[in-house]
Structure formats: C-alpha cells, structure tokens
Homo-oligomer: A and B are copies of this chain.
C-alpha cells in the first residue's frame, strides 16, 4: 500500500469527494422520493415565514425531505408521483385543536339555547339514548370526510368509544390526538370513572407509537371530575407519557363554582393539584386572568380557542390577544358540530381575526398571518406536536394541503395571508396529503366513500330526532 502510485491516490481522493462538488453531474443521480408537489405558492409557516413562489415539497416515507424552489428541488429529487400545484397555494395541513367528532350526528339538533338547557334537555338525553359504537363510527366517518374536504389533517378529539374513533381515523388516514372522555357519571361505554381510566390505559397501550393516532388521557372538566380523579388521570398521563386533555374555564358559571368550591380560579386550581405540564391541552380557556395566562405560560400548557362555539353558546370572548402577547401555545378548534355547526377551520381562522379586533377595539389585534398561524404552526404547539407538524419543513410529517387561489372570491390577490384568512373557503381545498398519502385528490375523497358516509349518517337522523322529542 505504501508503494501505490500517485494516480491511485488521486482516484481514492476523487471517490471520497462528496457528490455535491459536482453539481451539474448530480442530475443523473437525483434522489428518489415518493411524491413531489411542485409549482405552487408554498406557505411554509416556518420560523422565517418563508413563502416560496413556484415552490416544491418532496416527500418520502411520510416525511418532508425537501422544501424549496421548484427548480432546485427538481435538480435534486426525482419522484414516483408528482402533483402539479401551479396557481395554487401549498399550505401545512390545518389543525383542529378541539372537537368531538361523533357529535357531528347531532349537528343542528338543538340550537339557540342556554348552555345548560342545551346540555341537559338535548345533548345529554340524546347521548344517553343514541351513543353506541356504531353511532360513533358513523359520526366519526362523517366528521373525517368533512374535515378532509376542508383541509384539516390533524384533529384533537375527546368522546366515548374512542377506540372506534381511533380505528376509523387510522383507516381514513387522518392524524388524531384522541382521548376517551372520563367523567364522574356513567357514560355509554363506561359505567364508572375507574372503568373509564382502565379503558384509557388499554387504549394508550394499543395505540401509542402509531404513525397517525396519538392516544391521550381526557378528563372532561374540573367541574365534572373530582380532584382525586383529576390526580389519577394526571398520574396515568405521566406514567404513559401521554397528552392530557381537559375543558377548562369555558363559562363564567364554571369559574364561579370552582372558585366557591376550591377557593381559587380553575387554572389556579389545576396548577395547585399538579395537573398542568408540557403535555396538557386545555380547551376553551375563556374566562382567565393575566395571572392565569402567566401560569399557562410557565407550565408550557397548550391552549385551544374555539371562537365560533364560544360565540354561539354565548360562553364569552377569551383574551386571545393577551395570550398571543405572552406567546402562549394557542391553537384553534371547531368544538363539536352540535355547537358550531360545522368542522370548518377556515371559518374559525376568519372569525378569530375579526372577533378579537371588534372585542378589543383594535383593528390590528390579530393580523391575518397570526390567525393563520393559530391553525398551523402555533396550533401544532398547542398539541405539543411542533416537532412533527404545523409547518412545511424538512423532517416534519408530510401533512400538506393544496388550495385554489384563483376563485372569484379570491380575485385579485395582493397579500397571500389576507387571501387565505379573509377570502379563502373550505370549498377551495383541492388536494389533501397526510403522512405522505393523498387522501383527497382534486376534490375527490380517496379513503372514504362519501355517498355511503352521508347515507349512513342520514339513517341515524330519525332515531335521534325521536329521542329528543319523546318524553321518557
């Protein structure tokens, strides 16, 4: 070896030289990827808020391997499949941070009522009489189809028969953070809190590590679950390293009741019993003080704001500008379709931007980009998934949505965020990709049979309507 010639040494050096030094030669050796989405306006929602005109996203193994100019991505990658996004926007999949998908079957069952009357006279009786595993599957499929159509790729859910929700979600290829609701009264699938928590433990064991489904622990609310039971839920979440979802500070009455019973406000109470941590996801959070905002920030809690549900049920207006000023991890949710009445994130984005302007008297309160961020990058933080979703960046899950940008109501276009937030509708979504898999292509659902989903949902209508009109 010591006697090898100079030419052999040169050959060895050449072989060791990285390919990148021979850029023009690279064309023939482009890396193979599964899918290339090219030619669109790529709204990355990354930390620099990069917007790439004529951009491309390369996907392999369910993850994003490159985001950049179409020309430069083309030079590096060759794909098994391509999607032409010219003239369209390519955005991160939208994140619905709080919902109850099976309740979609109750859409419009009872509206314009006081929260208490709505719950006790309609929703609770309707649930007691109708919620079966079959109901949950049909309602979940209806919700999944509606969410995919509107460009939602991740949702956070709490309901009953959550194992059925998870199975349907995985089958449809949608991403979910899912928790069985545990509560201090009998529910359709669990007669006691202990049974509910045991169900949750089995549920977590079954789903943890799944590419799409993240199982969670989901005690209903501080006013429906005892302190002991909240502590038990928290312990289970700690032991399993699972997200911990809860409704909190939704109504003024809840704040009054908790303050009376516990001597402190709901967020303070949850902090005191050790419930808050970096896996907690708090839904609603309407009636809170500056001190409670500081607590949420200190513990790294994720918050999900549901503007349209809070409006329709007259729950109140959350101090969202203040929460954003504190850089809280705050996302957007639709809540269940029974209190909204749809699962349309675009309307929540539009509403969050407008509602807080008029409520604060400040037309700059939540600008378009900040509103859009709540349904994407900041929404991912609210679910503690910012490492995986919420932006189009190399290494993240390939959840992306292609949206028409040239419809009448989007013409002309000056600012891309303004157009996305104030003018774009769910019906403008064309193609949806989750974990690298195309689940809707050019308006056609690929993982669900839309006609069957609708017929099955409609078939529950009669029974449900009868169940709330009858006295029992």
Contact = CB atoms under 8 A, between A and B. Distances in A.
Contacts of A340: 422
A363 B112 contact: yes
Contact of A311 (B113, B341, B354, B367): B354
B408 A453 contact: yes
A412 B455 CA distance: 9
A240 to B, nearest CB: 34
A465 B418 CA distance: 14
Interface stretch (A23-31, A76-84, A181-189, A313-321): A313-321
Contacts of A315: 358
A111 B311 contact: no
A146 B406 CA distance: 12
A295 interface: no
Contact of A368 (B109, B111, B114, B411): B111
Interface residues of A, number: 70
A38 interface: no
Interface stretch (A12-20, A161-169, A325-333, A342-350): A342-350
Given A411-B142, A461-B413, A358 B316 contact: yes
B108 A414 contact: yes
A460 B341 contact: no
Contacts of A282: none
A123 to B, nearest CB: 13
A458 B411 CA distance: 7
B409 A146 contact: yes
Interface string A143-175: 001100110000000000000000000000000
Count of chain copies = 2
Interface in A360-417: 360-365, 367-368, 406, 408-409, 411-415
A453 B409 CA distance: 12
A53 to B, nearest CB: 14
A425 B426 contact: yes
A315 B357 CA distance: 9
A427 B411 CA distance: 16
A49 to B, nearest CB: 15
A457 interface: yes
A149 B111 CA distance: 28
B408 A149 contact: yes
Given A414-B109, A422-B108, A425-B425, A365 B461 contact: no
A355 interface: yes
Task: Give the one of A355, A450, A461 with max B CB within 10 A.
Answer: A355
A446 to B, nearest CB: 15
Contacts of A354: 308, 311-312, 351
Given A314-B358, A411-B458, A425-B426, 8 more contacts: A118-B363, A150-B409, A315-B358, A341-B423, A347-B347, A412-B457, A412-B460, A414-B464
25 contacts: A107-B412, A107-B414, A108-B413, A108-B414, A108-B423, A112-B364, A142-B408, A146-B409, A308-B354, A310-B358, A312-B353, A312-B354, A314-B362, A316-B358, A316-B361, A341-B418, A341-B419, A342-B423, A408-B453, A411-B454, A412-B457, A412-B458, A412-B461, A412-B464, A425-B426
